[in-house]
């Protein structure tokens, strides 16, 4: 199912009083019912138990209404399938009398003419069967898509996700993966990523810039044939366009790099919660997969505690590197006081 079985207006009404945390749980419920994995189903259960009792009751009420609506939708779909199966029986039986029959209406007329009972009633013949359109990916010019400060499509512009070019392929990100990418990018903005580029990539970039400068700084007499008379202003514009094209190419590499990191993770919700510094089951599983392997069991438990206290944080875009967190200095002072007291 690609659409909710209740109206958007009713869904807005139900969600309006909820906190951001409860809203996220409802999103998880919808994603899980709409073909979620067992891990996501477990995440829903974990997140619901972590809510305050009154909020948990609100979420349970909304979830209950959603489940009933999905059940009604499922029964309706099953009835359509039943009609379809019986319609085929009528058509096949009518063709035994008249091989030219192609439609259910023609079959009903032939069967009635020969006194044969139809499997599909007259009322069912008038039901309009709606076939949902398949979900497709469409190409939209970059200039027409609203983006954030890192050049990433906003949630409003691409609510169901988007694709990131990577060579000749497109890395397709669903709704949750797209949200995870935006969070990772906030921690590792494009400009910061440029500063920490691998040496080989930085070298290639510098060579490309130097090539542009070499071409643009060519004296008019030494320019390629036919371009000797190009005005300096036009030549400067060519330089600007060359740099813009280079920056676009680099930005594509930036997005592709982050997108691949997100796709490598089996649980996007873990990335989301980890980067929001939420102590949830998904965030803990993310830490288990990406951080704890660097330490033995005792160290891992201690590091996890320091994360919860805000003493340590991950390096932007690199969960394997730890940096001092917002409470590091306070923690350090307390440790120093403890050591002085022991002396």
What pLDDT is recorded for position 220? 59
CA–CA separation, 5 and 179 (whole Å): 24
Candidates 330, 331, 286, 326; CA nearest to 310 is 326
Asked if 53 and 65 count as a contact pair (C-beta separation under 8 A), the reply is: no
pLDDT score recorded for residue 276: 85
In 3D, which of 156, 178, 179, 176 has the Cα closest to residue 43?
Answer: 176
pLDDT for 180 equals: 92
Contact 60, 31 (CB under 8 A): no
Compute the distance between CA of residue 38 and CA of residue 30 in angstroms, rounded to an integer: 14
Q: Which residue, chain included where needed, has tokens 């979900």?
A: 135
- By three-state DSSP, how is residue 104 classified? helix
Element (H, E) at 31: helix 20-33
What pTM was computed for the model? 0.48
Q: Please give the pLDDT value at position 45.
A: 76
> Is the C-alpha dihedral spanning 296, 302, 306, 309 positive or negative?
positive
Check residue 130 and give its pLDDT. 45
Q: What is the pLDDT of residue 128?
A: 46
Residue ranges of the chain with per-residue pLDDT less than 50: 1-2, 128-134, 228
Distance CA(64)–CA(62), nearest Å, equals 5
Kindly give the pairing relationship between strand 318-324 and strand 312-315.
Answer: antiparallel
């Amino acid at each position: 199912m690609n659409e909710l079985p209740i109206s958007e207006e009713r869904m807005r009404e139900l969600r309006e009083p909820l906190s951001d945390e409860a809203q996220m749980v409802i999103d998880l419920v919808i994603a899980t019912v709409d073909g979620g994995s067992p891990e996501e189903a477990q995440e829903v259960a974990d997140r619901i138990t972590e809510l305050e009792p009154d909020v948990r009751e609100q979420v349970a009420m909304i979830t209950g209404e959603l489940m009933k609506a999905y059940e009604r939708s499922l029964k309706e779909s099953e009835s359509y399938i039943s009609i379809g199966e019986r319609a085929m029986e009528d058509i096949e039986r009518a063709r035994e009398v008249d091989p030219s029959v192609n439609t259910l209406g023609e079959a009903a007329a032939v069967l009635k003419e020969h006194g044969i009972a139809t499997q599909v009633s007259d009322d069912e013949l008038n039901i309009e069967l709606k076939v949902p359109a398949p979900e497709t990916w469409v190409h939209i010019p970059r200039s027409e898509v609203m983006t954030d400060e890192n050049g990433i499509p906003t949630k409003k512009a691409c609510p169901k996700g988007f694709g990131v070019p990577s060579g000749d392929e497109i890395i397709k990100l669903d709704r949750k993966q797209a949200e995870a990418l935006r969070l990772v990018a906030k921690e590792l903005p494009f400009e910061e990523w440029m500063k920490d580029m691998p040496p080989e990539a930085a070298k290639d970039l510098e060579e490309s810039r130097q090539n542009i400068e070499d071409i643009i700084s060519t004296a008019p007499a030494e320019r390629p044939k036919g371009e000797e008379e190009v005005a300096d202003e036009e030549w400067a514009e060519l330089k600007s366009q060359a740099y813009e094209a280079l920056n676009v190419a680099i930005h594509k590499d930036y997005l592709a790099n982050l997108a691949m990191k997100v796709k490598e993770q089996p649980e996007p919700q873990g990335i989301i919660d980890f980067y929001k510094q939420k102590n949830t089951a998904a965030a803990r599983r993310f830490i288990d997969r990406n951080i704890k392997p660097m330490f033995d069991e005792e160290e891992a438990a201690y590091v996890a505690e320091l994360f919860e206290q805000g003493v340590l944080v991950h390096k932007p875009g690199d969960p394997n590197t730890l940096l001092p967190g917002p409470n590091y200095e306070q923690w350090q002072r307390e440790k120093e006081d403890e050591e002085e007291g022991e002396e």
